[in-house]
Structure 1
Amino acid sequence: MPTLASPLEAALTPVLALLMFATFLAVPLARLGPALRDGRFIGAILTLNFVVVPAVVWLLTRTDHGLLLAGAPVEAGTRVGIVLVLLAACVDYVIAFTGLAGGARDRLLATAPLLLLVQAALIPLYLPLLVGTESLRLEPGPFVEALIVLLVIPLILAAVVQATRRRSRLSRGIERAGAVGMVPLMMATLLTVVGAQSAKIGSDLATVLIAVPTFILFLIVMLPLGILAGKAFGLDVAGTRALTMSGATRNSLVVLPLALALPEPLNAAALVVVPQTLVELTGMLVYVRAVPRLIR
């Protein structure tokens, strides 16, 4: 139903903002202050996402003797899309999955604005180096918009609800609705992401399938690397679980507008971002079971 693509694309940001609002409602925001002072966790999450992950992406996408993309012709747009989405650390639904895995979601939430700002600064530098297109330039606009719409506004609203819940029946009702609505909101997010791009993906399925093995291998590789990073920085169990989840999840819903805004020769970039979301969410079903068992 390609006629639904445009309305669903317009609905994506509001739906994701609602999902983030529901996620923040479930996090004790009063605990964010101590989390922001956890320098060891902040150092670990920045190192994993902006030193280790770029090295992994470079190894996975090398053209001469890379692990997956070598031996098959890969157009520039496909390579740009793969690198773009894998460089961007997730700042939204990773918080919900971290909670399911028994990780320190409050610490992860506290670092979310920092992760978004750092990736906005570094991805325009990393991307040309990794894809070999020196003339490629990215605008910071989508990152700034994501910071305000997907983090700042939902966070402020959730803080207001939590601060007034003792004396406000409305606030308590909103909290209950947020808890009940988490799964439907995640379903709505997936519907809008897939529905907005499905017609384009169906017309160029070969491009999408090239990228899928890379996304799967990335999830496999990042599990032990996240655990090792947690041990190297001396994090506790909850912190190591949160770090591992952060290293594996990517910011596909934020970089999708970036991919859509790329020049026409790179149109394939947006096509590979959407299947990364589906591969990742399938992988998260494994992660929320495996991480608590491997990190005790």
Structure 2
Amino acid sequence: MRRQRLERHQVWLYLGAVLLGLGLGTLAPQLAGTADALLWPVLGLLLYATFTQVPMAAVPTAFAEGRFMAAALLGNFVLLPAAVWAMVQFLPDDQALQLGLLLVLLVPCTDWFISFSQLGSGDAARATALTPVLLVLQLLLLPLYLWLISDADLRVVFSPADIWPAVVVVLLPLGLAVLTEAWAGRRPAVAAAVDRLGWVPVPLLAVVVLLVAVANVGAVLADLHLLPIVLGVVSLFLATSLLMSKTLASVAGLDLAQGRTLAFSMGTRNSFIVLPFALALPAGWETAAIVVVMQSLIELLGMIFCVWFIPRVLFPDAGRQARKTVGGAG
């Protein structure tokens, strides 16, 4: 199987993993402790494999594309956070639901958005150069966003005693990935191994989703009534991001490939990064992690639509647009 094909159909793998995990957790509840113990090391491996695909050395290249970079940063770190703030004002008074949505909707994707940009006729090279900038900024800005927007007492929710495993499971793989990239720059064999690691995130994320379902089957089933709310918010977010990307691309004078890449950047979110923090929340906040997983699955279904919609409707090529104009005139 080609890697591109695996990434195109990954959503079905994750849905299957969720259903299998719920089945195992229901039939064998004694597996919950084992699944919970396995979850953190597997999540660490997933983040390491993901971070190795983020080229930190490409940061200077990203800033060479001034208009595209400005549009991506303005959209992802100013306009979309403002839109998310407006959306949460209309949510039910459920702090765990709100926090889960804030965690996952405030941070732009740094992994599969590259694949979807390529599948949707965007510019994969620009997407790759943009990812390290998005990664660094979101790690710095997410605490500020949560402090400004969330009604929860963050000092209690994110107490050091609870949150330190999440910090380790994010920062340790990130540091190892940076060292690996430096090593790969000197050793072709290591570079080839890093390239092969690009196959790993999809199956590892399926394992993570399965373990989350097994370990939290009770919370998942109890929170199923929230699925329509999460579906509505995530769908509204995606529609808003597409409209904003179209406007920003027009104002910035971006070409078609840049515009498509901007749309995929603004439409995808970084569940990989925030899931450890959602899982580390204290008892009573399990809903936040369930919401993050729900958002990921809904987003992936949305990306199946966007791979068709963005290059054909939102940013159509000149020939397609001309044919539509002639057809409409006729």
Q: In the TM superposition, what are the counterparts of 1:36-115 in structure 2 within 5 Å?
A: 36-63=63-90, 69=91, 73-115=92-134
Change (3 A) 1:31 1:81: closer
Q: CA deviation at 1:131?
A: 2.8
Select the residue among 241, 256, 268 that pairs with 1:249.
Answer: 268
Deviation (angstroms), 1:209: 4.1
> Which deviates more, 75-84 or 136-145?
136-145
Q: Which residue of structure 1 lines up, in the alignment, with residue 309 of structure 2?
A: 290
> 1:34-65 deviations in whole A, cap 9, x for unaligned?
333222222111100111111211222214xx
Selected match of 2:212 from 196, 199, 219:
196
Q: Aligned partners of 2:213, 2:132: CA distance in 1, in Å?
A: 27
The structure with the largest alpha-carbon Rg is 2
Of 141, 144, 164, 1:125 maps to 144
Q: 1:264 to 1:40 in 2, by over 3 A?
A: same
Tell me if the contact between 1:94 and 1:245 (Cα under 8 Å) persists in the aligned partners.
yes
Q: Deviations along 1:95-124, whole A, 9 cap, x unmatched?
A: 222222222232232232322222223222
Deviations 1:4-27 (A, max 9, x none): 632244312313433554x56xx9
What is the alpha-carbon root mean square deviation over aligned residues? 3.1
Structure 2 residue aligned with 1:66? none
How much has 1:242 moved relative to structure 2? Answer: 1.4
Q: Deviations over 1:153-209 (max 9, x none)?
A: 4466467657755xx6x866x48856xx73x74144133224323513124322344
Contact 2:47–2:170 at 8 Å: present in 1 too?
Answer: no
- Going from structure 1 to structure 2, the CA distance change for 1:202 and 1:90 (only over 3 Å counts) comes to same
Q: Which residue number in structure 2 is paired with residue 15 of structure 1? A: 46
What is the number of residues matched between the two proteins?
Answer: 275
Deviation at 1:245, TM superposition (A): 0.7
Query: Which residue of structure 1 lines up, in the alignment, with residue 320 of structure 2?
Result: none
Residue segments in structure 1 that go unaligned for 5+ positions in a row: 64-68
SS in 1 for 2:103: helix
Consecutive unaligned residues of structure 2, counting only runs of 5 or more, are: 1-23, 26-30, 318-330
* Paired amino acid for 1:193: V
CA distance in 1, matches of 2:122, 2:172: 25
Q: 1:147 to 1:38 in 2, by over 3 A?
A: farther
CA shift, 1:261, in A, is: 2.4
- The CA distance in 1 between the partners of 2:181 and 2:118, in whole Å, is 17
Instruction: State the distance in 2 between where 1:79 and 1:143 align.
Output: 21
User: 1:216: Cα distance to partner?
Assistant: 1.8
**Which position in structure 2 is the counterpart of 1:136?**
154
Deviating more after overlay: 190-199 vs 229-238: 190-199
Cα separation, partners in 2 of 1:171 and 1:221, compared to 1, 3 Å:
closer
Aligned residue for 2:202, secondary structure, equals helix
Give the letter for the 1:87 counterpart: L
Q: What TM-score, normalized by structure 1, do the two folds share?
A: 0.78
Q: Is the contact made by 1:83 and 1:127 (CA closer than 8 Å) also made in structure 2?
A: yes
**Conservation of the 8 A alpha-carbon contact between 2:118 and 2:124:** yes
The letter of the residue matching 2:46 is V
Q: Which amino acid aligns with 2:209?
A: V
TM-score by length of 2: 0.71
Distance 1:131 1:164, change over 3 A: closer
Task: Provide the identity percentage.
Answer: 33
Rounded Cα–Cα distance in structure 2 between residues aligned with 1:281 and 1:115: 20
Would you say the 8 A contact 1:116–1:143 is kept in 2? no
